Structure 1
């Protein structure tokens, strides 16, 4: 036996068994299995995935994200598509109705080849919509009068198909006639904006793979290599449309692709929600507070919100891959170390997941190439599984504040009517651990928890606790929402840059709490203590800064505003770096029994007087993204922040009877005149150098530490 006990088995429909859920559930109830009719999702008392169109809608979140990266809004701009599938299918049929701007120039299934070289987006949309509404359909049902000149529908059984000039141009072909197999192969290699896979079969492999290795003999003659794809985006609505090596080959050649596990996860996610909702409602049913008939009426009422909860996961998962793609080359070392860690702990077989060897990492590093999206998607999944296991083995899911995540998993109707039953859900801890790990990793990336384990030795549940405190205290959820409202308003690169700006405060703030005595305190009380004070300081921050620091922030704000970002939002994103100081300021204020406003004024005035902003900038721009260089820079910056806090505390300790900032600093200078002069002289020498190296900066830090 290799598997541990599981609370339940998810039974998913496969080809030809989509309507068998009721049979499976009848057997479950006959045997008295605890899940009852939650055993197989999607039955007569469940969510119909095709009616919801949920799998295609999830895949479309990936499509929209890929196109947004290219500066195209799929919901308002026309784009060309080639497809695998037909309008009777769930994933293809629903998918081809998700934008009125689709120009479907070619598609095929196992029966027919459809060609429409110059389609009218609106007319073709209406015709696809009509076909989707038919009880059964094939491409032969498409109204021939609506097909553009040179197009048509051809059986896959034909011996030869004439290639018209219009089709030759649309598919960039030279031949005047092709066999159906040759034409399907050409459709897969079409120079379109999007290749949408909503069918069954593996159509893309890598050059290094044989057809035998792929294991889908029926499509051997059709299959292409990843580097032969000419589409800009490949969407995997169907399972196993590409091999993983095929995806990587296509991505390395410049194609935009995730994985099938990312693109078509919405169906499985919906099933998970259905099962957990039915388990929850089983509690009031058992107590006579709800009848099965009432439950069956309630389930469809929640369809739209269940879909919204599921699509939220798709949105943030694709956002995570997109943002990490912007910094993939810089993250290569962190990705490699995380892979090595997972291997050492027996959690990952690198070869099985087609992740680069250490030699391949070295080669990519020399070329300045990071992991591709398909590779990062695998790491994203492994990081979530690892973190989930760590949380489940710890007490964090039992924390009253963390446990509020349980309610957020369920639709509003259940939160309003059955909240009292939620703490009794048999899978309460598992849902909380899943929800927290999923939402956190989507926001901070796959390597975040491991990097902090490396840097601080913190256990994953401690890092999650520190992250959640940091997220709430600095109001990150509202900030992220504000950035996301700019979808298709500002370039995707601008939104990604803003999210990367916020990530610096996430890392520093989380690290601060990991090293703070506050980590073990009541979470709700800690948030109440810090959040309003941080907000008040944020509003005054710019006025307190060193002129050069203020100029840096103002320049950053101006740059974002010029790209269409509202000024207030731009200021919040750019000042994330500096706002980190609020945590130390609040702690010093508490210890010195002074107001945070006074401490902030002194904190920044002292920093300016000693030239600490200049020193911080020089440390930040030290060259090198390798692991030890990053750790060294991080340690020096941590030392500098710690020094700034200790200096502020020292000034207040020696000036208990002094109220004004100028007087406090003057008194401290009188006590430390010789040390201040020596540190000032050293910093002047460093400024003369222009670009001091790590050794010089370390000496400067040591000299400044003597003042605290």
Structure 2
């Protein structure tokens, strides 16, 4: 931001404050002026060039009224401001959001906007420290560190204009769904961390009839994931049961966390139910860990297909009795780490090099090593 841009933004904000002082009573004017300063604090002046002072004033006042009362969760408003109704106007559809500040909000909201085929033209995203009464009414803005404050994320977004009420409704509902997913994943994150540690410990209870190296490598891999190499988004436990229709993976009631909260529509794993009988039968085959890609894209953090981990559980007689499932996304560190240092992948690297039978240290061996290093991590995990 150069000096001219800074000066232009300051002049516009001064003009907005003047309008606030002229149109609002004293105490309210002071509160809205303080909000305006925080609202625009991190905005690039170029993003506001197309907006008149009147529209900036309207946007600030609209957002101020919008955040005035909030009880729980995220509140979303999607509308097309009109001069006669709202006192300001925009060439875009406007989205206003207020909720508890937490990770993944901006990424996830932007993902949903893109998923609906819309272009994001403006985002203003201050994090405010607020004091509210028991009914959720905003009492005052405060500074960070005030014992009474609560951090809230405030978003003002402008996207391609949509006028069909059905489109506006779909956008609002899509954003509400995504924000609920973010809240579930973030709120349950500590418990999911604990669940992953339980899953790791359970590997020690897998019967000795299962290959010891396979057990050790699976444990090492899960420990590697737990060391901040995996974004945990959901966990759930399942029991493997026989029914008139064959094998079923039944959800263990109350075990769902994050994106896998709840017991599903019919209490069973839909992905498992869709498998042909011969593949369902493989669920009884002893083993430790299954790694695959879900056919569902994440609604949280980034729009990649979810990584699916399933660890088999056993009964006292050494028979497979179910599965402990974890879903999420490999962290960026996973894509920057050499496969030779990642449990499970390191075994595959050794196996490929040994099978190639190339002289160690030779040009061909080094070329193969480079190919493996550059091979897409997601696909490398899927290779048997």
Which protein is richer in helix relative to its size? 1
| Interval containing the TM-score (normalised by the shorter chain) | under 0.3
- Structure with higher Rg: it is 1
Q: Which has the higher contact order (CA 8 A, sep 6+)?
A: 2
**TM-score, structure 1 length as denominator?**
0.17
